[in-house]
Amino acid sequence: MSVRAEVAAWLAAEWDPATMSAGRPRTEFVAAVVEAGWAAPRWPRRWFGRGLSDDDGHVVEEEFRRVGAPGSGQDRHNLYAATVLSFGSDALKERFVGPMLRGEVAMCLLYSEPGAGSDLAAVRTRAVPDGDEWVVDGQKVWTSSARTADYGMLLCRTDWSVPKHRGLSFFLFPMRQPGVEVRPLRQITGESEFNEVFLTGARVPDEHRLGGLGEGWRVLQTALAYERSVMGDRARAGRSDRGMAEVGDELVRLAAETGRLGDPVVRQDLARVAALRTVNEWNALRAKAEVEQGSSSSVMSLGKLAMSRILHESARVRTALAGPRAMVEGPEEPIGDEATFLALNAYFTSIGGGTDQIQRNIIAERILGLPKEYEVDRDVPFSEVRGG
């Protein structure tokens, strides 16, 4: 039986949208997807996969999309489970990979700091060994979901005597403990999706370390590659939850509703958005050909940067189509309200997952082969680096 026929037969037996809408918990169905190996079909069977090729993995995802079923494609999109699978010990994988795939563990990313956002290698959150644990002190910022997270992926400094990239370690950090304080940050859109996190004498077991001691930068690059891949895929799919600008057909519909579909300037704007999405799809195929499990691809930065361009451009076109209504906020003027929100929210995409400027640096240096940007502190022990 072909992979397509097998997954289609499984879905025919297990997936019933009517039952789901009538009360079958989504978590129950996703748990069945995980146990059947469809959640992460490219991974080994030991880790809830089926050992399929990448092409067959896409077939599985296509069949799930065809019937509107959730849970598949997590070997590409679940950055938490993928990072643990790539760098965790067997004991850590046994404990966390399954629950992460089933959505039983709430997670956040503890990367950025007030003085280390674009340059994550400059983080100053400190971890000091104490027996078989580490004591952590520092501050993180722009942390999504920190208020509800059970664990966070923590980048911190464990060695100050070596240059900044070599003194970092990466941990699966328990959030629900004394010494962890989370404060929400209010955004320009009025939401509070992000937080600052203060760590004071908090603890993390050494067995929760991902990768070797001092190898946190390598682990981070893989985790960021997964994050950028997710963000790029969202732009290609044109997902339309309120945090993402709608593209493609939605903009065409709006142009028709406002009587502007025949306007040659508007049509050119729509074509520009479509062109950006198409180029992003090509780059996604290029990245897929390069990336392997446990590695990262610089081409992912093209997808992340393209997502930012797509959402900014889509917001600009939507604002132009809304006209003066784009200055009005509130439910009484839904077209203007949505245009305003998406125009403001697009700036988040230029920051999250690495700023647009950082993506351009990566593309210039690692893809185009241009000379690296000079770093005065690259080979200096971090304890000697001047900080503001």
Which among 61, 193, 196, 227 is annotated as catalytic?
A: 227
Provide the pLDDT for residue 22: 59
Q: In this predicted structure, what is the pLDDT of residue 17?
A: 84
What phi and psi values does residue 204 have, to the nearest 5 degrees? -140, 130
Angle, CA 214 vertex, CA 209 and CA 220 arms, to 5°: 70
Tell me, yes or no, if the two domains 107-214 and 219-367 fold the same way: no
Where does the chain have alpha helices with state H?
Answer: 3-14, 17-21, 26-36, 54-67, 74-77, 79-87, 90-102, 216-237, 249-257, 264-290, 300-322, 334-349, 356-362
Using a cut of 0.85, tell me whether the model's pTM lies above it: no
- Alpha-carbon distance of 338 to 221, in angstroms, equals 34
Number of Cβ within a 10 Å radius of residue 150: 13
Domain 107-214 has CATH 3.30.56.10: no
State how far the Cα of 268 lies from the Cα of 285, in Å rounded to an integer.
26
CB 298 within 8 A of CB 372: no
Q: Residue 217, Cβ neighbours under 10 Å: how many?
A: 18
Domain coordinates in residue numbering, the chain: 3-77, 107-214, 219-367
Let me know if 227 is a catalytic residue. yes
pLDDT score for 155 = 98
Q: For 219-367, CATH number?
A: 1.20.140.10
Residues pairing with 129 in the sheet = 134
* pLDDT computed for residue 297 by the predictor: 61
Amino acid at 229: S
Do the beta carbons of residue 153 and residue 223 sit within 8 Å? yes
Beta bridge partners of 127: 136
**By three-state DSSP, how is residue 157 classified?**
strand
pLDDT at 245: 37
* CA atoms 144, 301, 78, 133: torsion sign: negative
pLDDT tens for each residue of the chain, 388 residues long = 899 999 999 999 999 888 775 566 888 999 999 999 999 999 999 999 999 999 999 999 999 999 999 999 999 889 999 999 999 999 999 999 999 999 999 999 999 999 887 789 999 999 999 999 999 999 999 899 999 999 999 999 999 999 999 999 999 999 999 999 999 998 777 778 889 999 999 999 999 999 999 999 999 988 887 876 665 555 444 443 433 334 577 899 899 988 899 999 999 999 999 888 888 878 777 766 665 544 456 777 777 888 888 889 999 999 999 999 888 888 888 888 888 888 888 887 787 777 888 889 888 988 889 998 887 888 899 998 877 5
